[in-house]
Structure 1
Amino acid sequence: MSWPAVLLWLAIMAAAASRGPALLYLVLITGSIGSMQMLPGSGGGANLLPQSACAALLIGKVLIQRGNITRGTEAALDPQRLALFSAFLIYAVLGALVLPRVFAGMFEVVPVSAFRFGTDILKPSTGNITQSCYMALSYATTLCFTIIGQTDEMRDHFRTALICGAYALIGTGILDFITYTLHISAVLDPFRTATYALLTDVEAEGAKRVVGLMPEASSYGSACVGMLSLILFMRPFYRQGLEQVLAVVAIALLMVMTMLSTSSTAIVGLGVMGGVYGLDLMVRMLDPRNPRRDQLNIEISLIILIVFTIFVSFVVKPDLFDPLVNLVNKMVFQKASSASYVERSLWNRIGWHAFLDSGGLGAGLGSIRVSNWGISILGSTGLFGAVLMFGFIVQQLLAVPRTAPAHVKQFAAVSKLGLLPTLIMYQLAGTIPDIGILAAAVLGMVAATHAVRPASSPDLVPAVRPDPYATPRPQLS
């Protein structure tokens, strides 16, 4: 275990012992550290990342509070909240234990732990256990945020924690770029102790691909886009003044760091985010009753200013954007000619055949590696598992919390919009069925809006103290 891991464990334990929402903030901040092992030694082949460790302690802290086991059980069985996800988890974990043994030796797969280009015959492995644990942790994270996410105070904390997580991503990206430029990248080695392959010193078009403290540029770029999208759509909810400024600066810097990652998945994610934002902007412009029209003039003015600045820059210096255009052309439009694309296409093809060869039942969690989240779900848990998982996600994206106040409905709406780019990026580069801690937390916050209770209920959020801010935050209504 490296010294940063030891220090982080101390910080996590201190946060767990505190009465405030410090663990919630740490969960999102540690999302920027995706390459550090938190277990001593090699961890027996399993990797416990900082965000997973924080999430596990947050879950435990929430569940030991009075009444939360009951609330969690209600949420897990509630058809409007987590019933489909609960059914998926039970089916997927049982399948991970049974399916690799039923279909052992019958068809080829690309193992999750494979470090080489090629395939292997399906057989039970430790990956079935570790991937089941990762999925169970994501489910428990969703359940945890469903329990605690029913109050305005927790929604405020969640939005603020997103900004903290954003600046952690920005800071680690800058640190990676500076250490590489100064040829002192070795100082980050204690943060890069995970046992899987790390691609941290890769260049594209002669420039460093920024990876921050993530395993590779694709992971870092996708994390930046995911955080950027959530803050962009939640920006109207932030308080006027410093908080709004921090949100806007975070949006700008995350966009820069995304481009520096040169990840094709992240660039596509930016395009999806822009398209979703444009459609949402049109809806707000055409609907005079939309409660998120308050800052519409500012947003349109900024868009016009940005477009005008780009136009003037192009007129003054036509070749100014050539490096960016060449980069996008190579990383996105010429991606099919890259070795990475060929390898990942093989993964997807083998994963799809695993789904077909298993008769639609799947090979079990942890049995296959692919590069498409949809194929990963199908190849791992079969058609029934896919129906449950995708049914849960579609339900949370489309369902409206009808009994909630107007500002809670708006929070749910912007959370869903902010999550869409991440879900699309999963379809391009999702290697395992696990939905991840951040997406799980957002889905939990959305699910919580279906059971909002009066904020005055004294035992509603026993895991945290009341909102520490001295002045109440304005809500959209």
Structure 2
Amino acid sequence: MSWPAALLWVLILAAAFSNGPGLLYLLMICGAFGSLQMLPGSGGANLLPQSACAAVFIGKVMIQPGNIRRGIEAALDPQRLVLFSAFLAYALFGALVLPRVFSGMIEVVPVSAFRFGTDILKPGAGNITQSGYMALSYAATLAFTVIGQTEAMRAHYRRALLSAACALVATGLVDLITFSLNLGAVLEPFRTATYALLTDVEAEGAKRVVGLMPEASSYGTACVGMAAALVFTRPLYHAGNEQMLVMIAIGGLVLMTMLSTSSTAYVGLAVFGLVYGLDLLVRMLDAGNPRRDQIGLEVGLIVLVVFVIFATFVIQPALFDPIVAMVDKMVFQKSSSASYVERSLWNRVGWHAFLDSGGLGVGLGSIRVSNWVISILGSTGLFGALMMFGFIAQQLVAAPRNATRKAVVFATVTKLALVPVLVMYQLAGTIPDIGIAASAALGMIAAAHTPRPAGRAISRPPPPAPTPAVNRLSEARP
């Protein structure tokens, strides 16, 4: 175990035994350390910092009085997590049974494959580890659903996102600086995961910034997802220094996205821009929209940015040549790259695994693909896909039940921020797990639904009940 892993364990345990929301902030920040192994030794499964912190966070949430009952209610609530709960039960059952039923009968690209090519399906350790990751993501969604109903918790969640954004920008800068100074060995203690790490790759003569993630694609997509979250939630931050820090973080994230030279991240950035433009148009045309407060500022900033870009292009058009060349190579010429050929093979084999299994799937952890839809279909079959995609569609479309105005606004901006993330999943999602960050966002959206009343056979309104005690994370003042 490297010294950064040992230090993170100390911080995680210290935050777990402290009062307040420190563990939540640490959970989000840990997302920037995607290549750090938290377990001792150099072999076996990888435990990343965010997964380790999530397990402790979930435990801390659920041991608070009443939260197990609230968790069960949320898990069985048709408007909150019942579809996700059904998906998890089926997926875990399938991970145990399906690889054995179809063993030796179906061609797959294993999750742990280190070579270009395919293999024959057989049960393996990947079925266990991927089931664990999926169960952890579900538990994270459940935990955030339980504690995410108060305005204090929503404020802490927004600030945790800002902390994570700063961590992503900082690690990207450190990666760029150490590479420029030929000090890459300084970051070796942070890059101890046992899977393939592509950290010193160049494109068009420029360093592909990866931060402390395993590759440029994972870093770039993380930056886009965080930038989208900050842009849509920016009006909810306190005016002044907090919003100024948000703007700086957004600028840093966009810059790091461009420097990652990830084609998936570029597409995600374009989708984010499209979603933001459509949302801005809707708010401008809808006089009753509750998110019109700072629309003038947003339009002014957009006009300023467009003017600066146009003026720069007129005065010094050669400055855009490297950018145009990079986008052309990484996006429009992507189909001629070895990576595209390999990932196309993964998707083709994964799709045929779904078909060859009769639509049942071959189990979590049995296949590697490069498309999240195919990953869900190939792993959990048509039944699992209907439940997972139904759950996500439900959370994105359904209006929060009996929610306050602030809760509705928060849920709306969180939904909008998830759209580019889900699109990027379709381009580079190698496993069915949706990840801790997306799980937390879905949990906060589901938390906007007010829990159903305990009983229905009430002839008159019951006396006011005391506010239920939510765990200490939400009791702390922002």
Common fold by TM > 0.5:
yes
How much has 1:466 moved relative to structure 2? 3.1
The yes-or-no answer on 1:418 pairing with 2:417 is: yes
Alignment of 1:47-66 (within 5 A): 47-66=46-65
2:25 aligns to what? 25
2:12 aligns to what? 12
Alignment of 1:41-52 (within 5 A): 41-42=41-42, 44-52=43-51
Alignment of 1:22-421 (within 5 A): 22-42=22-42, 44-421=43-420
2:458 aligns to what? none
- Please give the alpha-carbon distance, in whole angstroms, between the structure 2 residues aligned to 1:99 and 1:106: 11
How much has 1:45 moved relative to structure 2? 1.5
Conservation of the 8 A alpha-carbon contact between 2:31 and 2:49: yes
- Relative to structure 1, is the Cα distance of residues 46 and 259 closer, same or farther in structure 2, using a 3 angstrom cutoff? same
Conservation of the 8 A alpha-carbon contact between 2:372 and 2:427: yes
- Please give the alpha-carbon distance, in whole angstroms, between the structure 2 residues aligned to 1:448 and 1:143: 9
Is the partner of 1:48 in helix, strand or coil?
coil
Conservation of the 8 A alpha-carbon contact between 2:65 and 2:469: no
* CA distances 1:283-317 after superposition (whole Å, capped 9, x unpaired): 00000111111101000011001111111111111
- Relative to structure 1, is the Cα distance of residues 425 and 465 closer, same or farther in structure 2, using a 3 angstrom cutoff? closer
* CA distances 1:209-265 after superposition (whole Å, capped 9, x unpaired): 000000000000000001110111001100001110011111111000000000000
Amino acid of the residue matched to residue 318 of structure 1?
P
Q: Which moved more, 1:338-347 or 1:310-319?
A: 310-319
1:462 aligns to what? 471
- Please give the alpha-carbon distance, in whole angstroms, between the structure 2 residues aligned to 1:250 and 1:464: 25
- Relative to structure 1, is the Cα distance of residues 152 and 117 closer, same or farther in structure 2, using a 3 angstrom cutoff? same
Conservation of the 8 A alpha-carbon contact between 1:150 and 1:452: no
Conservation of the 8 A alpha-carbon contact between 1:146 and 1:444: yes
How many residues are treated as equivalent by the alignment? 467
1:3 aligns to what? 3
Conservation of the 8 A alpha-carbon contact between 2:401 and 2:450: no
How much has 1:457 moved relative to structure 2? 5.4
How much has 1:459 moved relative to structure 2? 3.6
Is the partner of 2:268 in helix, strand or coil?
helix
* CA distances 1:67-92 after superposition (whole Å, capped 9, x unpaired): 00100000000000000000000000
- Please give the alpha-carbon distance, in whole angstroms, between the structure 2 residues aligned to 1:465 and 1:431: 34
* CA distances 1:93-123 after superposition (whole Å, capped 9, x unpaired): 0000000000001111000000100000000
Conservation of the 8 A alpha-carbon contact between 1:19 and 1:465: no
- Please give the alpha-carbon distance, in whole angstroms, between the structure 2 residues aligned to 1:452 and 1:363: 36
- Please give the alpha-carbon distance, in whole angstroms, between the structure 1 residues aligned to 2:317 and 2:11: 50
Conservation of the 8 A alpha-carbon contact between 2:360 and 2:383: yes
Which runs of 5 or more residues in structure 1 are unaligned? 470-477
- Please give the alpha-carbon distance, in whole angstroms, between the structure 2 residues aligned to 1:18 and 1:460: 18
Is the partner of 1:293 in helix, strand or coil?
coil
Is the partner of 2:473 in helix, strand or coil?
coil
Conservation of the 8 A alpha-carbon contact between 1:148 and 1:460: no
1:475 aligns to what? none
Amino acid of the residue matched to residue 15 of structure 2?
A
Conservation of the 8 A alpha-carbon contact between 1:369 and 1:432: yes
- Please give the alpha-carbon distance, in whole angstroms, between the structure 2 residues aligned to 1:466 and 1:149: 11
- Please give the alpha-carbon distance, in whole angstroms, between the structure 1 residues aligned to 2:241 and 2:475: 21
Amino acid of the residue matched to residue 29 of structure 1?
I
How much has 1:406 moved relative to structure 2? 1.2
Conservation of the 8 A alpha-carbon contact between 2:401 and 2:448: no
TM-score, structure 1 normalization: 0.96
How much has 1:468 moved relative to structure 2? 3.1
How much has 1:464 moved relative to structure 2? 2.0
Conservation of the 8 A alpha-carbon contact between 2:370 and 2:426: yes
- Please give the alpha-carbon distance, in whole angstroms, between the structure 2 residues aligned to 1:120 and 1:451: 48
* CA distances 1:369-402 after superposition (whole Å, capped 9, x unpaired): 0000000000000000000000000000000013
- Please give the alpha-carbon distance, in whole angstroms, between the structure 2 residues aligned to 1:29 and 1:401: 28
Is the partner of 2:402 in helix, strand or coil?
coil
- Please give the alpha-carbon distance, in whole angstroms, between the structure 1 residues aligned to 2:252 and 2:471: 36
Amino acid of the residue matched to residue 326 of structure 2?
L
1:473 aligns to what? none
- Please give the alpha-carbon distance, in whole angstroms, between the structure 1 residues aligned to 2:261 and 2:469: 44
- Please give the alpha-carbon distance, in whole angstroms, between the structure 1 residues aligned to 2:288 and 2:316: 43
* CA distances 1:427-476 after superposition (whole Å, capped 9, x unpaired): 000000000000000000000000269xx95543223263434xxxxxxx
Conservation of the 8 A alpha-carbon contact between 1:61 and 1:463: no
Conservation of the 8 A alpha-carbon contact between 2:377 and 2:385: yes
Percent same amino acid at aligned positions?
71
- Please give the alpha-carbon distance, in whole angstroms, between the structure 1 residues aligned to 2:343 and 2:44: 23
Amino acid of the residue matched to residue 325 of structure 2?
N
- Please give the alpha-carbon distance, in whole angstroms, between the structure 1 residues aligned to 2:137 and 2:469: 22
- Please give the alpha-carbon distance, in whole angstroms, between the structure 1 residues aligned to 2:474 and 2:355: 51
1:431 aligns to what? 430
